[in-house]
Amino acid sequence: MSTEATAIQVLPGAEALQGLDWAKGDGLLPAVVQHADTLQVLMLGYVSAESLAATLASGHMTFFSRSKQRLWTKGEQSGHVLAVQAIRVDCDDDTLLVTARPAGPTCHTGADSCFPQAPKDFLGGLQHLVATRDAQRPAGSYTTTLFEGGIRRIAQKVGEEGVETALAAVAQDDAALLGEASDLLYHLLVLLQARGLSLDDARAVLEKRHR
């Protein structure tokens, strides 16, 4: 999954940014940045109207630095930019929730997040890794061999893992079942990626069914 700048989705709609309450925070609004794939909270920063406009124009998260008193694009020196995917506005129009894909560690300490204990979706992170393997095809990677084997080979592996999971459920202990279920989930992620789909697409179908 790319960390290049892309068109930013403003939710619930572009008009939401027109009604932001800049006065409440003396011209600044807090912006919580969340990983677009793992949903882990990455950092908290502050935006001004000018930095928000710069973010929308570039696709990379730009804050207003209160210490330097200037606009500051995350990663402007390290290259660890935050490619913004979507911006949401809270119920009081005075806080932003930004989902982004980081190009490297977000924290100045070298950690992925400024909140290292923040929960995250492991499967979302694994999906991101699978997509990266698909794009880069590094030598020696098992995932690379799957992609290079083609869709039929990947589908065959999903079938094999599905059967092994079912057999483990009726004839083996919990540890064996969990091991086989993990293998099945991994190969399913690879299959979805090979078809240009993702876990999010499957999740959306499930959510639609239960509305």
Q: Is the confidence at residue 5, as pLDDT, over 70?
A: no
| Per-residue model confidence as pLDDT tens digits over 116-127 | 899 999 999 899
**What's the whole-number mean pLDDT along residues 195-211?**
93
| Per-residue model confidence as pLDDT tens digits over 15-26 | 567 789 999 999
Contact 83/101 with Cβ under 8 angstroms?
A: yes
CB count within 10 Å of CB 50 equals 13
Q: Is the confidence at residue 60, as pLDDT, over 60?
A: yes
The pairing of strands 82-89 and 9-11 is: parallel
Lookup: tokens for 100: 């982004």
Q: Is the confidence at residue 14, as pLDDT, over 90?
A: no
| Per-residue model confidence as pLDDT tens digits over 67-114 | 999 999 999 999 999 999 999 999 999 999 999 999 999 999 999 999
User: 122-136 vs 142-149: helix axis angle to the nearest 10?
Assistant: 60
Mean pLDDT of the chain: 92
The structure tokens 């677009």 sit at 36
Q: Is the peptide bond before 119 cis (omega within 30 degrees of 0)?
A: no
| Per-residue model confidence as pLDDT tens digits over 167-187 | 999 999 999 999 999 999 999
Span of 6-10, 23-27, 58-62 with lowest mean pLDDT: 6-10
Quote the pLDDT of residue 17: 76
Burial of 105 (0-12, 13-18, 19+ CB in 10 A): middle
The structure tokens 């990626």 sit at 193
Lookup: tokens for 74: 């995350």
H helix or E strand, kind and range, residue 55: helix 49-58
Quote the pLDDT of residue 211: 81
Q: Give CB contacts under 8 A, 24+ apart, made by 18-21.
A: 19/93, 20/49, 20/89, 20/93, 20/94, 21/92, 21/93, 21/94
Quote the pLDDT of residue 6: 56
> Residue 48: phi, psi to the nearest 5?
-105, 175
- Domains of the chain, with CATH numbers? 9-102 (3.10.20.810), 122-209 (1.10.287.1080)
